[in-house]
Amino acid sequence: MEPTRSSRTVQPTRSSRLMWQLRVSSLDPPGTRRGLPVPFAFSERRPESGKVLDAAPHMEPFNTLPRILIPSTRYAWKPPCLHYAWLAPEAMLLDYAKKNKLNRRLGRKLNVPGTMRAALLAMIIREGVADISQDYLRIQTSPVGMKEEATLLVAVYTNFDLKRADLPSDHTIEKIRQRLGMEGPPRWYLDSTYWYWEPLSR
């Protein structure tokens, strides 16, 4: 994908120094700059969703979050939402839910995301694996790497959570990784709904 051109360059200022120096291992090191493709590069014009969906199967998640995607009230625009997440181990979570009678239904059909989240919360919080607020642990969807349907994720936080005092530590995330049997740390995946820049007032 070609980088978008913008009439406005979003750069850190002295007044936003605290945000820019935020140190979390899942972020680019302070001072890092890199070119970004649509829809990550700042643009006042929302990209065409069809073009983003066409590109999504070929997108790769970020290993570390570009600092321009850290939200700040000092800017007039909100960045896209990204989830720090793993690809969801769907079969394992559904099997756990079945064995522990955690299935959730919508009418006669199995609510797959709801069932997976019930299993996730039971495995990590009820079993005492990690001390993490349940509002962080979610089953989310992303267009990144999607095939016929959106990619299912196990998310541990978003770029909009980075300044929270109870942000899960690397140690906590490692405990979750081990319990789920995941390889490597989470990566940053674009959200399926809030994938574009928008004015802060919205």
Looking at the domain assignment, is residue 151 inside a domain? yes
The pLDDT value given to residue 7: 29
90-106 confidence digits (pLDDT tens): 999 999 999 999 999 99
Looking at the domain assignment, is residue 3 inside a domain? no
8 A C-beta contact, residue 38 and residue 1 = yes
73-92 confidence digits (pLDDT tens): 888 999 999 999 999 999 99
Looking at the domain assignment, is residue 170 inside a domain? yes
Residue-level length of the chain: 202
Measured CA to CA, the distance from residue 183 to residue 49 in angstroms comes to 31
pLDDT, the chain, mean: 88
Question: Residue 163 belongs to what domain range?
Answer: 14-199
Looking at the domain assignment, is residue 5 inside a domain? no
36-68 confidence digits (pLDDT tens): 999 999 989 998 988 888 888 889 999 999 999
Looking at the domain assignment, is residue 116 inside a domain? yes
Looking at the domain assignment, is residue 61 inside a domain? yes
Contacts of 43 (CB under 8 A, 6+ apart): 4, 5, 6, 197
Looking at the domain assignment, is residue 125 inside a domain? yes
Write down the pTM of the prediction. 0.86
Structure confidence at residue 18 as a pLDDT band (50, 70, 90): very low
Q: How many domains are there within the chain?
A: 1
Looking at the domain assignment, is residue 41 inside a domain? yes
Structure confidence at residue 3 as a pLDDT band (50, 70, 90): very low
